[in-house]
Structure 1
Amino acid sequence: MSLRYYIFLKDVLVLALTAFGGPQAHIAIMFKLLVEKRRYLSEQELIELNALCSILPGPTSTQTITAIGYKIGGPNLAYITLLIWILPAATIMAIAAVAITYLQEQGISLAFLRYLQPMAVGFVAYAGYMISSKVVHTKTAVILMVVSAILAYFFSSPWVFPVLLLAGGAVTALRFKQHPLEKDKKLKIEWANFILFVAVLVVAALLGAYTSSLPVRLFENFYRNGTLVFGGGQVLIPLLYSEFVDFKHYLTGEEFLSGYAIVQALPGPTFSFCSFVGNLAMRRYGIAGQFLGSFVATVGIFLPGTFLIFFVIRFWDELKKYRVVRASLEGISAVSSGMVVAAAILLYHPVPNTPLNFGIVVATFSLLMFTKIPAPILILTGLLLGFLL
């Protein structure tokens, strides 16, 4: 492996340990490190890749960073990128689930996490501002951003996200003649990863239906959820709550919300929350069973999006040469920035609406906007205040 690949993987590890605030905030941090500092790709390339990953089901920031790894060093570098990005947060969430089980047995309160959720809202609001300032340059884009933010706010069904993204793309695709023609368009599609994606879905569904093994059923549950989630971790949370708390009673509402507060405090992918849910679902099998639950849940939730990004990224550069596709990216990017704005407002709803919490949101946004204080320092300060106060 060349020195450039090692430097890139070190940067991925830095992101995995410092990228707080969910998929929208991750993109803002990727801009700073991967575009402005290292110049692995251009601003436009990152915006387009993120827009593509927003259309696909699965974890948006995970697919984006995997795709960047693929562009730099092909499939092998992309697989290592994926592992380095997922492993820290998924491991910490598995340990957190075991710790919460212990704390509950000892009757210890989890109130020290209370300042982290308003801080997470500040992170997402900052990401919304950063992304919209980079992708919204025309009146059409402004209108698409505002309309998509309103619709994403009032209709939070998982299917609303892909529909909005495709509709936004269709609006700006109508103006494809404004883009110059490009020759040498040879679109060669390799179907292997798409066939794998469908095959695993069918096999998991059949095994889940015909087996009484909880790990197998958990894998099927998470793989199915991974194929249905568009728009990142914020969309995944209500789906998991309905299935694992309301319907299957694998964990209580209080446990679920405690885990969600912890994942807000962690860097890396929000989908690592599944490691926590899978762990508690298997607690009656002891600590070994709990870690097995984390493993099958993590593999299950990340696998569908991984298959799909490996399928699409192989012909993405050729696909972009079509004027209609290039024109549609403006609308898709504008809609995805509108969805970030909606996510910031929606994430504030579960937070108690006190002057203190609102102040924390504004302070977090302002510190990110006007200072160079690293995100981990802000989060650790929030944790420390939670302990002290």
Structure 2
Amino acid sequence: MTIRRVRFYIYLKDVLVLSLTAFGGPQVFLAMVIDIMVRKRGYLSEKDLIELNALCLILPGPTSTQTISAIGFRIGGPTLAYLSLLVWIFPATTLMIGTAFLIDYLQANTEGALGFAKFIQPMAIGFILYAAQITIKKMIHTVEAAILMMIAAFVAFFYNSPFIFPIMLFIGGLITTHNYNKQPVIEEKSKINISWRNFILWAAVLVAAAVLGHYTRLLPVRLFENFYRNGSLIFGGGQVLVPYLYTEFVEFKNYLSSEEFLTGYAISQSIPGPTFSISSYIGALSMREWGVTGLVTGGLIAAAGIFLPGTFLIFFVIRFWDGLKKYRPVRAALEGINAVSCGMLIAAAYLLFEPLENNLFNIIAIIGTYALLQFTKIPSPLIIVMGLAAGISYQWILKAFG
């Protein structure tokens, strides 16, 4: 085995370790990547990694997945990048498809099947509120951005069509481009040489999926298009993905109930790897009527749809990003895009709370979860396990003494 192949093998092994141990969201993920891939292995410098991660943050798609793929691309080109993508998403995707199997089985064979999730359904909203706070703190720095955020939240409250989201993102970016004079000037702009291959690939798959879905009306094709479109439009990470998926698959298409969605989202917070893996759970349950084959197929189609566009786009942009980021209108537009994403995240908390009973129990569960995340160092997975244990105990007590 050559030295090059040994290096690739070690890199993929490191990616697998991350996929099995990266609990705690993007901040913990980045710290682990610095520790393993910068300090331990020396695949790239810390400065290069921070810049690479920043690029992934401002592109649509799953940031952690794009970062892993981009590092693989730098080390070994497209082949290693795609292999690292598969290794990174496999454990979380498998776990979330397994969760869909469990939920489907319980729904079919157990009365009050989701009783065990009584606590974690409102807890999921506490997670979203905490994520909204963190995201807003990082992304909203001006009065104009705050106003855009509130307008986007208002629009998302009353217009739940998934087709309104990309329009709002575009308008938000367009509005803030006029602020480019406030961006620091970066001298020595060089001519940007763009290779359009990966962009054309991304666009061709998007158009082909939309056309095939429209004319064939086959559920697997339409599911792939739905997730591929969402994966092409999500700015701000897995938290921002939630309102898109909820609106499209719960309110618009009724593939899942609100309780099923909240249960899956809460459980996705307790597993390692990419937060976008909730898509596999949603895709699996969307095809449950096809039996076991449908559950597996739906989960895999959703994973392919949600992760591929971000990978195509990072391969496209990474080649000319160093030149593009020097242009102030590009950086100014990101302010509006991020503000709209934050507005959608605020709307998500309301939209997910609306179907729940408006009672003291649910409010306490939401506030309690937020407080644990904000004021303690209890890991997210442990909080979810505590909620599951409380729900199971509650169900058992009801059966025993009811």
Please give the TM-score of this superposition, normalised by the length of structure 1. 0.77
Instruction: Please state how far the C-alpha of 1:117 moved relative to its aligned partner.
Output: 1.9
Taking the aligned partners of 2:353 and 2:164, their CA distance within structure 1 comes to: 20
CA, structure 1 residues 107+338, in 2 after alignment: closer, same or farther (shift >3 Å)? closer
Partner of 1:298: 303
Deviation by residue 1:36-76 (Cα, 9 ceiling, x = unmatched)? 998677878756633431xxxxxx3x2x1132224434245
Residue 235 in 1 paired to residue 244 in 2?
Answer: yes
* SS of match in other structure, 2:312: helix
Deviation by residue 1:172-208 (Cα, 9 ceiling, x = unmatched)? 3212223214323332222222333344455556766
Structure 1: which amino acid aligns with 2:267?
Answer: A
Q: 8 Å contact 2:177–2:329 — kept in the other structure?
A: yes
| 1:214-225 pair list within 5 angstroms | 217-225=218-226
| 1:134-173 pair list within 5 angstroms | 134-173=138-177
Structure 2: which amino acid aligns with 1:222?
Answer: L
Q: 8 Å contact 2:160–2:247 — kept in the other structure?
A: no
Partner of 2:18: 11
Partner of 1:103: 106
Partner of 2:397: none
CA, structure 1 residues 310+223, in 2 after alignment: closer, same or farther (shift >3 Å)? farther
Taking the aligned partners of 1:300 and 1:142, their CA distance within structure 2 comes to: 32
CA, structure 1 residues 48+203, in 2 after alignment: closer, same or farther (shift >3 Å)? closer
Q: 8 Å contact 1:204–1:220 — kept in the other structure?
A: yes
Aligned-pair Cα RMSD in Å: 3.4
Structure 1: which amino acid aligns with 2:282?
Answer: C
* SS of match in other structure, 1:351: coil
Structure 2: which amino acid aligns with 1:87?
Answer: F
Q: 8 Å contact 2:129–2:349 — kept in the other structure?
A: yes
Residue 72 in 1 paired to residue 71 in 2?
Answer: yes
Partner of 2:42: none
Residue 130 in 1 paired to residue 134 in 2?
Answer: yes
Q: 8 Å contact 2:246–2:261 — kept in the other structure?
A: no
Structure 2: which amino acid aligns with 1:90?
Answer: T
Bigger drift between 379-388 and 170-179 goes to 170-179
Structure 2: which amino acid aligns with 1:93?
Answer: M
Partner of 1:280: 288
* SS of match in other structure, 1:110: helix
Taking the aligned partners of 1:209 and 1:140, their CA distance within structure 2 comes to: 39
CA, structure 1 residues 332+33, in 2 after alignment: closer, same or farther (shift >3 Å)? farther
Taking the aligned partners of 1:300 and 1:289, their CA distance within structure 2 comes to: 16
CA, structure 1 residues 131+36, in 2 after alignment: closer, same or farther (shift >3 Å)? farther
Deviation by residue 1:200-233 (Cα, 9 ceiling, x = unmatched)? 4555567667879xxxx34311222124334423
Partner of 1:248: none
Aligned sequence identity (%): 37
Q: 8 Å contact 1:144–1:334 — kept in the other structure?
A: yes
Residue 366 in 1 paired to residue 371 in 2?
Answer: yes
Bigger drift between 164-173 and 32-41 goes to 32-41
CA, structure 1 residues 327+274, in 2 after alignment: closer, same or farther (shift >3 Å)? same
Q: 8 Å contact 2:206–2:229 — kept in the other structure?
A: no
Partner of 1:264: 266
Taking the aligned partners of 2:332 and 2:58, their CA distance within structure 1 comes to: 13
Please give the TM-score of this superposition, normalised by the length of structure 2. 0.75
**Which one of the candidate residues 103, 115, 123 is aligned to 1:119?**
123
CA, structure 1 residues 271+105, in 2 after alignment: closer, same or farther (shift >3 Å)? closer
Q: 8 Å contact 2:129–2:346 — kept in the other structure?
A: yes
Partner of 2:94: 91
Residue 356 in 1 paired to residue 365 in 2?
Answer: no
Taking the aligned partners of 1:374 and 1:259, their CA distance within structure 2 comes to: 22
Bigger drift between 98-107 and 229-238 goes to 98-107
CA, structure 1 residues 211+125, in 2 after alignment: closer, same or farther (shift >3 Å)? closer
Taking the aligned partners of 1:368 and 1:350, their CA distance within structure 2 comes to: 24
Taking the aligned partners of 1:136 and 1:209, their CA distance within structure 2 comes to: 38
Structure 1: which amino acid aligns with 2:96?
Answer: M
Taking the aligned partners of 2:210 and 2:164, their CA distance within structure 1 comes to: 25
Structure 1: which amino acid aligns with 2:89?
Answer: I
Bigger drift between 118-127 and 185-194 goes to 185-194
Q: 8 Å contact 1:27–1:127 — kept in the other structure?
A: no
Gaps spanning 5+ residues in structure 2: where?
1-6, 39-45, 235-240, 395-402
Structure 1: which amino acid aligns with 2:119?
Answer: Y
* SS of match in other structure, 1:175: helix
Q: 8 Å contact 1:148–1:338 — kept in the other structure?
A: yes
